[in-house]
Amino acid sequence: MTPYYTASKRQMDVLIHPQETRPQIIKALEMLEGKKVERAERKHGNIPL
């Protein structure tokens, strides 16, 4: 299989050239740099068994 076949089946998000790999990774990491994950409070605790 080639990446073009996989892309034609819409099984991937983006098809990039090998020389674009590093800039794409840097861009993705910069986007996630300030991300804060908020966890929902638990409604029920664990009961002792």
pLDDT (0 to 100) of residue 12: 82
Element (H, E) at 6: helix 3-8
pLDDT tens sequence for the chain (49 residues): 788 888 888 888 888 899 999 999 999 999 999 888 888 887 777 777 7
Question: What pLDDT does residue 26 have?
Answer: 95
* Residue 49: per-residue pLDDT: 75
Give the sign of the dihedral formed by CA 37, CA 38, CA 43, CA 45: positive
pTM metric for this prediction: 0.54
Q: What angle do CA 6, 21, 8 make, to 5 degrees?
A: 15
